[in-house]
Structure formats: structure tokens, C-alpha cells
Structure 1
Amino acid sequence: MRNIRNFIFLKDVFILAITSFGGAQAHFAIILDRMVKLRAYLTEEELIELHALCNLLPGPTSTQTITAIGFKRGGPPLAYLTLLVWILPAVTVMTAAAILINSLQVKELSLHFTRFIQPMAIAFVAYSAVLIWGKVVKSRTSIFLAIGSAVISYFISSPYLFPVLLLAGGVISSTKYKRHEKEERQKINIVWANFFLWGGVLIFAALLGAATKYQAITLPIRLFENFYRNGSLIFGGGQVLVPFLYTEFVEFKRYLSSEEFLSGYALVQAIPGPTFSFSAFIGALTLREWGTSGEIMGAVIASIGVFLPGTFLIFFVSRFWDQLKKYRPVKASLEGINAASAGMVVAAAFLLYQPLEQNLLNILVIIITFLVLQFSKMPRPIIILIGFALGFVFKGQ
């Protein structure tokens, strides 16, 4: 019976993996619909708390959220299977795209058929922002923190700002802990294994990468170290990962051309699943000189490297999170953390719009998609398929 329940859960994760467009902010609404409203794997409050907790940690937020749900249901074995099922479709597509781009010398490959997908993704983020705001911004304090977080996130673009804003919001709201009833508390038992595992792999990979810096045969080792380090230090989701990767792999190491990088980035915006799967694309092209097998190996190494740190960290924290949040200051801090997170999602919608071509068509696509999400029950995959269809019809215009 338990195996059947786990199979159904993994099937739901797979459905999310092939239908979750729009990045971490948009993923929240989709996870809420399926994991809470449809299946009741956890409560809405638990999901909001879990999402806020994952925002506090480095790594891919939506991936950590879904993996943590798997951890709560079946421990590490189910969690690792959850991670694999969630990332596999997007990683496979991005690996295939890298192989195709390399074989066709894809600087000439046109992705113009995705022209409607990017404004649609912004609409998904805006819809998610409205949804989260309505659920967590309910008091004067939370309104103040959400607006402040949105303004600061918009004007100061730094990945290290995200945890600072979340912690600041939590500290401010924790001062109102007396509003919460006392709960029976237990001694917090912290299991440090996953924390030491995360730190140990980081240090070992860094030392090994430095020791083999000038040996071509050990490029896969350095590739793993590069992505593991990025996955350990980046806060704020896939959009934040991109400038780091561009600086390291295009400008500094020149493993990819700017055209190849931008082609891959455009594609990852148009497929479902985690934006961090872009790492598979870069990893594959980094080892292109090793042939197709090298490209596949590079994609696997990069994917493991970028997704593993966040997984270790969420395993570490989630083990004692239920005990920790029984403390009234900690429980009160969640209001501020959630409010600051809501503000960041609002800012993300505006920030993602900025690089988009400023024209009436894109604005209309955003508005129409948002209205469809708000006032209809049209499935998201259908919306995206319509976007692709329109892109192919008007790709030459």
C-alpha cells in the first residue's frame, strides 16, 4: 500500500515536471494546486512555510520545495527519487538541445517560435505574485515588509540580498511573538550529517579542482566543482544563476560563445521544470570535444553538481524545522519571512519584464495570459501549447 502511495506521489511529481512553466515563483501556484488542493499531501500553511524556508537556503527553491515534500512523506529514499523525477525531463531536453546546437553549429538556430512564451512566463510570475500576496499579506506589518521587500529587490539586484531581506523580515515580525499561543516544546535535536556532507563535498571538490587545474583530462572534476560551488552560494532561483554562469563559463573560461549561451537560456525559458536545468546545457557544451558521450557526461555532472547542495541543505534543516517553529519567536518570524518573499515575487515580475522587448504585443500577451489564469480553468500546458502554436504561425513576422 505504501509503495502504491509513493508511486502516485512520484507520478504527481512527474506531471509537475512536465507542466510547471515560469520559474520558481510560478511553480509555487502549480505546486499548491496539485500537492495541496488536489492531493492534500500537506496543508496550505505547511507549503507556505516550506516555501519560505527554501527561500532562506541557497539553491533552486522549487526543487528544494518539492524534494522536501518527498522527504516529509518517505524520508531520504523517496526524496532522492522525487529529485530525480522532477529534474529529469528538463535536464533531458536541455542536454538534447546542447547536442543539437553543437552538431548544427547553432549560432544560426532560430528560437523565434518561443516569442510568445517569455511574456507568458512573466504572466505566470505575476499571477503567482497576486496569489501569494493574497494569502500571506494580511496585517500592517506584513504589508510594510512586503512593499519594502518589493522596492528593495527591484532597485538592488544582488543574489545575496534575498536572504538578508528574508532574515530582516523574520526578525521584525518575531518581535510580535506574544500574539501566538504557547506550545509544548521539545528539545531540538539537530542531526549534522547532511550539513557536514554538504560542506565536506564543497571543500573536497574545491581542493581537487585546484590541484588538477591545468590538466585537460580532469575537466569533469573542475566542472563538478564549478556547479557545486554555484549551487551552494546562489540565492533567489534560476534567474539569479544565469549571470553567474555567463560570467564564469562565457566571459572567463570561454567554454561557450555568447550566442550559444543566449540560445540555451531562451530555450530553458520555454520548457517546464527547474530553470537550474540550464546547467545541463552548459555542462554538455563544455565537454563537447569529448564527443556525444562527453556531452551527456557533462550534462549529468553539471546537473548533479548544481542540484546536490540545495538537497543536502534542505535535508539538514527540514529534520528539525517542525520542532524549531514551535518556539513563538520563530513562529512569529514566519509572517515576516512570507511577506518579504511575497514582495520578492512582485519585484521578480517587473525585473523579468525589463529584458523583454518593449512593445504592445508582449504587453497584450502578458495581460491576456494573466486574465486567462485568473478567470478561467484552462490548464497551463494548453496555454503554453497555444503560445508555441502562435509562435510557429507568426515566426517569420
Structure 2
Amino acid sequence: MSESVLHSHVRQIRYLIFLKDVLVLALTCFGGPQVHLVMFLERFVQKRRYITEAELLELQALCQVLPGPTSTQTITALGFKIGGPTLAYLTVLIWSLPAVLVMTLAALGISYLQQHHISLSFMRFVEPMAIGFLAYGGYSIGSKVIHNQSHWIILGISAVVSYIFPSPYMTPIVVILGGVITSFQYQRLQKLDKTPIRIEWANFFLWLGVLIAAALLGKITNWLPIRLFENFYRNGSLVFGGGQVLNPMLYTEFVEFKQWLSQQEFLTGMALAQIVPGPVFSIASYIGALSMRDDGVFGQLIGSTAASFGIFLPGTFLIFFVYRFWNELKKYRGVRASLEGLNAASVGLTIAAVIRMFMATATTSTGIFSILLTICLLYFTKTPPYMIVFGGILLGILL
């Protein structure tokens, strides 16, 4: 056997072991990006030594400042670093598939119960818990990204505007303006030695082309699966801050604006996403399936598939695009400064959504109690979210 063939076999075995590790994590990673990072460090750095701790933290930092699902982009970027685009695409598929399947089955189960007029009252404690998760998530992000008066002003304005105008068309305006405002404050940041940026534009044009094509096809055909794909692709291209920011954006679009889901259905999905391992963005599969419930089981599967591809593809395209020149791009002070405004505006979106959901849900003592108890458990005890949700379901069944 020649040396080149031997090296090829070694690489293939290494890739298979990596994909097996990705599958193990997809089945065991509960919680958000912070918890995922700990498990990534344990398996990819300490056990397998695919990458150094410093390199993994650098990847995580890059993905936190890009729109899209942070953990998914981090593990996809690692696959890209180890084996190029093919391994990266297989990585995002294996990482997201278990959560997507579970959330799709959850949507099918909700539809079955509704069709047979079976009460969902056993979820009555869980639904308001979702608001508690969202409120605590907004607080956690805000405590990390809100540092000065201009951040507070952006947060306040974005919260007020988003509350008064709960439209998906307002979301990109608020987020982008937040980034533009702080980009002008670049003088206070440290200067770094710059090197010429060499940009490969293929994946950017791929991301933009899919965005435009989906919008045009959705408008022309009015076919619901294409519209679902476009809706989630657009949201996946704009969300900074992970699931805590994605959820209010989806609530605004699918509950308040389009009214394809009821508030009860959406909050149930939010809560269930907390007990599913893998990416929190899998809630898209649940929403996509329920949005096409009138087309039967096959239609719901199509809706779930369209929504899942829509939410995960833009982040994948963008990490492929930015990863190649991030080391040079981050040296520009205007770029670094704009990230502060993007994050502050995202927190404002979360606050506005929490207020709207709270006012609609906290109409009973049970709802208020569930929301406050969830926040207290997360803040004072650090109880894992999936344990809180399981406790809420058990309490609903017993009572």
C-alpha cells in the first residue's frame, strides 16, 4: 500500500471518529452554547486533541459575533477545519438531525392531541416556564454585553420600538441600526496592526443568492414550504445571541404577525426545546410542522424539513465565508465596535418579547407563579432547564 493511500485511509478513519463524536454530543448536549462549549472542550480538546483549547475558544468567539446558531456554527467550523466543506456539511447534518426529529415528533404529537380533542392542560405549568427561560436568557446575555450608557440607550430604544411595532420587518432595521450606531464609537478601542484582507466571496454570494431566490419564489408561488424556508432563512441570517434572541423573533413573526401558531403552542415548543439535546434552533422544525398541520402528516414533515434547512443553512454559509478571513477582519475597530450595538439591540428585542408574552400569559396565579419560580430556580440554584421542564410536566400530570 502506497504512502498516499495509507494517509487517505487514516484521514477517513479520523473523519468517521469525528462524526461519531458529533453524534454522541448531539444526543447528550443539553442546554445552550455555554454548556455545549464545556462538552466540546472535554471531547474535542481533552479526549481527541482535534484542536487546542485556544483554537476552540477562538472559534466559539467568532461564532458568537456571527448571526446564526452559535454551537452549530462552532462544531461546523471545527468540521471545516479538520476535513473541509464535505465534513462540515456532514457535521451540521448529524449534529442537528436528532433534535430536529424529536421536535418534529413533538409537533405531530401536539397535532394528534388537538385533532382528537385531548386536553393539553398537563402543560399548563410548562407554557409560562418558557417565558421564564426567555427572561433569564435575556438577563444572562445583557449582563455580558451591556457595559455603558450608549448600550443602555440602544437596548431601551430597540425594546420600545419592537414592542410598539411587533413586525418581523422591524427586526432587521433595529438590529442593523444598533450595529451602525456603535460602529462610530471605534476610537475608544485599541488599534491593531492590520494586514490586507483577502476575501473569497463564493459562500457570501451563495448565502445572498439563496436569500433572494427564496424571497422571490415565495412571492411568486405563494407555496407555504418555500415561504417557510424563506422566513426561517431570513431569521437565521439576522439573529445575534442564540436561541434567547431567536425565540422572540419567531414569536413576533409566527404568533403575532402571521398567526400560524397560537401562543400556547409556541410556548409549549419553547419549553420542549429545553429538554431536547443539541441545538436550540431545532424549535424551527416544530414551528414548520405545526404551520402545515392542515396538510396532514406528510405536509407537516415537509414543513419541518423546509424550516430546518432554512434556519441552519445561513449560519453554515456565513461561517464558511467569514472563517477564512476573520483574523484580518477583527483587527478593524469599526467592525469590533459594531458588534456591541448588534448585541444590545438583540437584548432589547428579547425584553420586548418577554413583556408581550408576560402580559398575555400572566392572567392567572398559576402562570405568574410558574414564570417567577423558573427565573428563581435558574438564577439561585442553576438547575438544568430540562429538569425544570420535566418537573413542570410531572406537576401538571399530578395536579
- 2:133 paired residue among 124, 130, 148: 124
Change in CA separation of 1:163 and 1:36 when aligned onto 2, cut-off 3 Å:
farther
Unaligned runs of 5+ in 1: 21-26, 55-60, 214-221, 252-257
Q: Which amino acid aligns with 2:386?
A: P
2:370 paired residue number: 365
1:233 paired residue number: 234
The answer to whether the aligner puts 1:326 opposite 2:326 as a matched pair is no
- 2:346 paired residue among 341, 348, 352: 341
Query: Secondary structure of 2:70's partner?
Result: helix
The answer to whether the aligner puts 1:353 opposite 2:361 as a matched pair is no
Whole-Å separation in 2 of the counterparts to 1:45 and 1:340: 24
2:308 paired residue number: 303
Change in CA separation of 1:375 and 1:167 when aligned onto 2, cut-off 3 Å:
same
Change in CA separation of 1:352 and 1:11 when aligned onto 2, cut-off 3 Å:
farther
Change in CA separation of 1:296 and 1:383 when aligned onto 2, cut-off 3 Å:
same
Post-superposition offset of 1:327: 0.4
Whole-Å separation in 2 of the counterparts to 1:209 and 1:167: 24
TM norm structure 1: 0.74
Q: Any conservation in 1 of the 2:135–2:351 contact (CA below 8 Å)?
A: yes
2:177 paired residue number: 168
Query: Secondary structure of 1:270's partner?
Result: helix
Post-superposition offset of 1:389: 0.4
Change in CA separation of 1:46 and 1:265 when aligned onto 2, cut-off 3 Å:
same
Q: Which amino acid aligns with 2:75?
A: G
Unaligned runs of 5+ in 2: 1-12, 46-52, 240-245, 274-279
- 2:386 paired residue among 371, 381, 393: 381
Post-superposition offset of 1:325: 2.0
Query: Secondary structure of 1:354's partner?
Result: helix
Q: Percent identity?
A: 37
Whole-Å separation in 1 of the counterparts to 2:37 and 2:356: 24
TM norm structure 2: 0.73
The answer to whether the aligner puts 1:285 opposite 2:290 as a matched pair is no
Q: Any conservation in 1 of the 2:194–2:331 contact (CA below 8 Å)?
A: yes
Change in CA separation of 1:13 and 1:77 when aligned onto 2, cut-off 3 Å:
farther
Q: Which amino acid aligns with 1:166?
A: V
Query: Secondary structure of 2:139's partner?
Result: helix
Post-superposition offset of 1:117: 1.3
Post-superposition offset of 1:224: 4.0
Post-superposition offset of 1:245: 4.9
2:78 paired residue number: 73
Whole-Å separation in 2 of the counterparts to 1:250 and 1:149: 23
- Per-residue CA deviation, residues 158-195 of structure 1 (Å, 9 max, x unaligned), is 22333333332323322332222221222222222223
